[in-house]
Amino acid sequence: MTPLVLCFGGTFDPVHTGHLAIARAVRDALHADVHLLPSADPPHKGPTHASAEQRARMLDLAVEGEHGLIVDRRELRRAGPSYTVDTLRELRAEYGPHAPLVWMVGGDSVFGLDSWHRWRELFELGHLLAIDRPGSPIDPDALKARAPEVHAELEPRWCRPAQLHALPAGGFAEFPLGEERPESSTALRRRIADQAPGWRDWLPAPVADLIAASGLYGRPVP
Ligand SMILES: Nc1ncnc2c1ncn2[C@@H]1O[C@H](COP(=O)(O)OP(=O)(O)OP(=O)(O)O)[C@@H](O)[C@H]1O
Ligand SMILES: O=C(O)c1ccc[n+]([C@@H]2O[C@H](COP(=O)([O-])O)[C@@H](O)[C@H]2O)c1
């Protein structure tokens, strides 16, 4: 069986324990490495709080010593918005026509998929694997009501994660995480800036240490 190429793109501003829990669960269930790809210039977000290199560095610290989680800086080497269609095209050229490429996204991203750059082409290049997020369960009825064009595109592609091995691209599957993860980078940045009790709880320890030492996100350097 051809191994899956699992890709998890994000702004990671900063990476949090929810991202890591998702990456580990998908790695373990689908028996393949997960490539974490920080966006240089995330298409749907304003300016980031940490630089691209700082966000990538935090990812390095978060996965240090862990098997099967790999930081991929390819989007940092491109100019302009970090469109996923361009990244998948690069990966397809690198892995060849037969490798099953899988792009992982949180449920919130699925509802807005039709606003992504050349979004229908994503399915010519790879599969999409969606992870439930509080407030954005991957439910066909909710999708039909809130994002009918996305629903129409996904309906014939809907399959189980284990079926993604069968083809190089074109599938859509929902990953059963078990328990939804509450973390969000936006809420986390606020906690850090406010020095809220437990601000470290959603951070891998080495990332929390770097933030504390550098004053990133507004926390004063002691
Ligand atoms: N708690 C979560 N549950 C499921 N998916 C998540 C969760 N947090 C992030 N993701 C997904 O991970 C990917 C990268 O997320 P990103 O780096 O933007 O962090 P974020 O927590 O979503 O940030 P923000 O709070 O600014 O939206 C996106 O596809 C997002 O939907
Ligand atoms: O290609 C696009 O138009 C596009 C639009 C929104 C998001 N993405 C990608 O989806 C991933 C998660 O995005 P975000 O904004 O939640 O960090 C990240 O890799 C982004 O580059 C891509």
Degrees to nearest 5, angle at CA 65 with 164 and 221: 115
User: Which residue minimizes the CA distance to atom 19 of ligand 2?
Assistant: 9
Ligand that lies nearest to the alpha carbon of residue 80, given by its number in the listed order: 2
| 200 CA to centre of ligand 2 in angstroms | 25
DSSP 112-145: TGGGSTTGGGHHHH-EEEEE-BTTB---HHHHHH
What is the tens place of the pLDDT at every residue in 133-188? 988 778 899 999 999 999 999 999 999 999 999 999 999 999 999 899 999 999 99
Give residue ranges with CB within 6 A of ligand 2. Answer: 9-11, 37, 39, 42-45, 82-85, 109, 116-117
Calculate mean pLDDT across residues 116-120.
Answer: 98
- In the prediction, which pLDDT does 1 show? 74
* pTM, two decimal places: 0.97
Going across the sheet that includes 69-71, the strands are 69-71, 34-38, 5-10, 101-106, 127-131, 172-175, 158-159
Model confidence pLDDT, tens digit, residues 67-95: 999 999 999 999 999 999 999 999 999 99
Domains of the chain, start order: 5-181 (3.40.50.620)
d(CA 66, ligand 2 centre) in Å: 25
Is the ipTM of this structure higher than 0.85?
Answer: yes
Q: Is the CB of 109 under 6 A from ligand 1?
A: yes
